[in-house]
Every structure is written in C-alpha cells, then in structure tokens.
Chains A and B, each alone.
Chain A
Amino acid sequence: MTTTHNGHEAPGAPATQEELTQELIHDARQTGPRMRRALWILALLTALGATAAILMMLGGLDDHTRWKYYAVAYFYVFSLVMGIPMAGIGLRFARAQWRRPTSRAAELFALAGPVMLVFFLPIMAAHPGLEGRNSLWMDWRLGPWFPDLIMLTAFVCIGLAFIYVSVLPDLAAVRDHGNGRSRNIAASLAYGWIGTARQWAMHKSALGILGAMYISAYAMTHTVFATDFAMVLTPGWKDPIFPAFHAVTGLQMGLGLFIVVQFALRKWGGLARYFELEQFWAYGRLLLALTLFWFYFFWSGFILFWYGRLPHEQQIIALLAFGDPAIDNLLARPQLWMFVGAIGLSFITAFLLIMWNPVRRSILGPAVVGVVIIIGNFFDRLRIYVNTWSIEQVGGHELHEIPTNIGYPGLLEILVFIGMLSAVALMILLASRVVPFVSLWETREALLLRVVRPFGVGHAHIVAKPD
C-alpha cells in the first residue's frame, strides 16, 4: 500500500493488465455452492412473485384500488433500480476517472429492464383508464396503455443495447481466457470482437449515443409514469413539478442502493481493491447533492399548493402529506406518517448524516446513508401510490374525500414485492457469472493512464486525459 499526499490509502500495488484480466475473469467464473444456493433461492422467489402477480390478475382487474400495494411495489422497485445505470453513464460523460471500476456494476442494473417490463403488464392492465379523467393523452383511446408500454419498451431496449455494447470488449476477454459455460456464452455474444481501432472508435461513439438516449428515456418514462399512474387518478392534482420530483428521487434512491451494492461487493464480493474510499467519498458527495434536490423538488411543488390554498390544493396536501384534517387524532392519519417517514428519512436524517465530511469521507458512512435513503423513499412511494390508487372518485376538479381504505398489503402483494427485487438481483448475478462486476477494459485503460509518483512525503496519483 502507498499513501497519497492527503493521507489516504492508495490502491493496492498496481496490477499489470495481465494480472487484472486473470483476477477479474477468475472471480467472475467463481460459482461456489453459496452462490449457487443464492441463485436458486432468488429464482424461487422470482417464480413466487410472478405466480402471485398472475393470481392477482386472476382475482380481477376491474377494481383498481385492489392494486394499490402492487403499484407501490412496482413503482418503488422501478425507481430504485432503473436510475442506477445513470451513475455509469453520467460520470462517463463527465470523464470522472475515479468511476472506472464502478461503472460496470452500475450499468448491469440496466438488466433489470426486462423484469420491470414483465411486472408492468399487470399494473398496466389494472389501470382504470382515462375516461372522465384529465390526462396527457386528451381522449386518445389508446392512452395510457399504448404510449406507456412503448415508452417502457424503448427505455428497456435502450438499457439492454447500452449494457451489451459496454460489455462487448469484456465478453471477448472472457471468450479468450474464460472456461466452461461462461466462456461459451461469451464467445457467442462477443460476435467476433477483436478490438481494432475502428471497433474501439465505434464503441466510444455508441456508448455516447446510447447513453444520451438512456438519460432521455429515463426522464420521459418517469414523467409518463408519475402522470398516468399517480396524478391522473387524483382529481384536482395538476403539478408539473411532480414528474421531475419522481425522476430526481429515483436517482437519489438509486444512488443510495448503488453505494450499498458497492459496499457489499467490497465486503463480501472480494472486490475491495476496486471499490475504495475514493469512490465512496465521491459518490457520497453526489448523494448529498441529490438529497438536497429531494427537498428542493418537493418544496417547489409543495409551496404552490400551500400558498394557493384553493380547496382542491388543500385536498392534495392532505392526501400526500398531512392526512385528513377532519381527523383530530394525528395517529389515525396514515398519510401523515407516510409523509413523516418519507421526508424524515429521505431528506432530514440523510442530510444530517451526509452533510458531514467525515461521514462522506468513509466507506461505511455513505453506505449507512444509502440504507436510510432506500427506506425513506419506500415511504415516499407508499405515500404517493397507496393514496392515489385508493381513490375511487372519477372525475371532478377536486378530491372530495381523503381515502381511508388504505389497509395493509396482503401475502400476494408482499410476494410480488420480494419477487421483483429477487428477479432484479437474479438477473444481475447471472450476468456477473459471464462478465465481471468490474469493467475490464475501463480498468485496464485506467492502468495505462494512471501512475503513482512520489510527492512530498507521500505519493500522488497522476492521471492522463487522452482526449
């Protein structure tokens, strides 16, 4: 270990390209009994979740209020995982060199797309339709099902195209040096990649174009989902800031989960030398910014309703924040407690922790804040979707009654929730059996561009920027 000028541990002795390739491909090939058991358990939970979703569909699609906890589960998991690839894409655009070992782990979350597409079908079918409601689609008969399905399909396909292009050079490395089934899969997917200068130039352009498309699709998918699956169901809710809030909080909780995943890969995945303090510190700063954004976007929307004080605006505040003012007992207002959980964990607690540099400048600190944010945003999606999907009123310019029929999730809804999370984890772990969690080509490139030189009494990293 070397020490940098500011006293931090530098990465372990720089590996050669050969060592790096062997180490990462060897790690990727490891499928011990524990991993095998984990894969089977995840597959079982996925199957249970899918069965529960089918059983719910067989139970009927006519009454959308039955689907409120499914909606919470779906939009929570969607928000949690689909923003994570943005950490890889955005930081590559920003040419942040420190993100190199972490990009792949972030981009692999694009594989959650097909899971999200499959579990979207029941909630799409359960949508009560637009008749008598205000929507983006005016009175278009195909809305919201058709455009939302097209939007999600485009988003998922862009994510898959992006991750495929990104892993292409590493598939070639596994084809060349792997063995067994993973080698065969990699060989067929590598498509004859040989790493010519032309192919690398194409690779760079494709990552740029598909990355930009992913960002565009991310924003628009959140916009149509937040509108069609929350605002449309709520008479009197017209808020152009809410879709942006939905997208930004998705990024915050995604980054929270990504930091936790990095912590797990460091602790139990044998990748401590790739997920270091430098990465946790930098992601901690981003988490601080996104936590501030959480409040900024919430406040920007809230303050209009608060000052407007029109009856329909007060009803929206009651629905999403403070509960029915006619109920004196605060404990009997579920909306209030969901709101307290959301703002208390997603913003107040998270901010009070991550604002301190010693917390950010640690490995445990950002991971703990990540967990707090993941839980806080669960309350946030709960307050948004369980309340809006409990509304039976159709049409009108004002919500007449704050719903009290919130109830609790049943076994099927819990199984769906666990099944969705398991399916996402299963996809990522299966992919990691073929390509490593750490991008080989990006880390190898970093090795070429980065040297450690004596500086003062310690050492400093010198990073070349080739273009």
Chain B
Amino acid sequence: MANQSVLGLYENADTAAEGARNLRAAGFTSDDYEVMTGNPYPEGAFGEHVKKNKLFRFSLFGGFIGFITAFLFVFATQTAFPLVTGGKPILAIPASMIIMYEFTLLVAMIFTVIGVIFESRLPRPGGAGPLYDARITLGYIGLLVTVDQERIGNAQQALQSGGAEEVINEPA
C-alpha cells in the first residue's frame, strides 16, 4: 500500500512534544515521523530518533584521496625532474608535506560538501515539498508523519489531539 504524509503544525516545543508523545502512544515509531524546525533543538527533544550522521567519513575519505593524489603528484614531478638539493633525497617527504597538506584540505573540503548534500538528502526535488509550511521558519514546529494510507487517519487524530494548531494533509 502506498505511503501518505500528514503534517501537524505546533506553535511551541511543549505542544510539539505532546504531539510526538501522542503519536508514539498511538503505535507510531520515531521512524514514522520527522520533526521540522526553524532552528536547532537539542537532539531527541521531541522523542525523535536521529540517526548518527556519517559526515566525518566523507571528510576522512576526501582527505585520504587528497593526500594520495598529492603524494603521487610530488612523486611524479620530483622523479620527472630529478634535482638533488642540499644532499636530500629526490623524493623528500618533509619538503612535500605542505603540498600534501594543501591537497588533503582541498579534497576533504570538497567531499565534506558532497557529504552535507548527500546526508541532508538535498536537493529535494520540487523544493521544500507540498507538506512544508513556511510558518516553520517563524518558530512553529512541524511533525511530518509518513505511513501507509490505512494508518493516516490515526496519525491525523494523534496529531490533532496533541494540540496541533493545524493538520495538513498531502494533496491528492
């Protein structure tokens, strides 16, 4: 059965927390709903489950790629133009550290940005989406429930009884 979404809009954190409590009492799990806010709240403030993000893996991987690229680059240029300077080896690591550091930073940054986009599930096709409400950036809190059509009525009821100022259904 196809999934359907419903959005409950709450004026403040207390009523939103109440709405989330109602959802859980009605048998919905924290994977069934998302909390949307205009500013960060402490993690789990609404009982939601936030998966540990893996952004650091992108940065580490990017840094590794950058480091290896730089190493190969300096290795290639130093062996292509072998000049002994001050009796040091042709492939002198201390002299190559800065360029390796630069590449490491540059590629790590690129991968971090890719990671932010990927892990934030951006860009969203169609912008913010039909069930996004602009009042969220005025301080309202949205509880977006996405479940199969059979349970959508229960979700609406739970959101409403939790003190939602408005419950918005996904347009057909």
Contacts and interface: CB of A to CB of B under 8 A. Distances in A.
Interface of A: 16-18, 21-22, 136-142, 147, 150-151, 153-154, 157-158, 161, 165, 169, 172-173, 175-177, 187, 190-206, 209-210, 213, 216-217, 220, 224, 440-442, 444-445, 448, 466-467
Interface of A is mostly: helix
A176 B37 CA distance: 13
20 contacts: A18-B139, A21-B138, A136-B98, A138-B95, A140-B95, A150-B106, A157-B106, A169-B137, A172-B128, A191-B122, A192-B128, A192-B129, A194-B128, A202-B55, A202-B116, A202-B119, A202-B120, A213-B109, A217-B105, A224-B98
Contact of A147 (B53, B85, B102): B102
B23 interface: no
Contact of A195 (B38, B81, B116, B117): B38
A448 B39 contact: yes
B172 interface: no
B99 interface: yes
Given A157-B106, A466-B42, A196 B34 contact: yes
A147 B38 CA distance: 41
Q: Which of A153, A154, A165, A187 has most chain B Cβ within 10 Å?
A: A154
Contacts of B77: 140-142
B127 to A, nearest CB: 5
Contacts of A195: 36-39, 136-137
Nearest to A175: B128
A136 B125 CA distance: 48
B123 interface: yes
B59 interface: yes
A206 B102 contact: no
| Minimum-distance CB pairs A-B, first 6 | A17-B139, A192-B124, A176-B134, A154-B106, A173-B137, A466-B42
B121 to A, nearest CB: 7
Interface of B: 13, 34-43, 46, 48, 50-51, 53, 55-56, 59, 77-78, 81, 83, 85-86, 88, 92, 95, 98-99, 101-103, 105-106, 108-110, 112-113, 115-117, 119-129, 132, 134, 136-139
Contacts of B127: 187, 192
A441 B127 CA distance: 20
Contacts of B38: 17, 21, 169, 172-173, 195, 440-441, 444
Contacts of B50: 197-198, 201
A202 B50 CA distance: 10
A214 to B, nearest CB: 9
Contacts of B112: 161, 206, 209-210, 213
B162 to A, nearest CB: 17
A22 B139 CA distance: 11
Given A154-B109, A187-B127, A192-B124, A445 B40 contact: yes
Given A18-B138, A198-B120, A441-B40, 19 more contacts: A21-B38, A138-B92, A141-B77, A151-B102, A154-B105, A154-B106, A157-B109, A158-B105, A161-B112, A169-B39, A173-B137, A176-B134, A192-B122, A195-B36, A199-B121, A201-B53, A205-B55, A206-B55, A442-B39
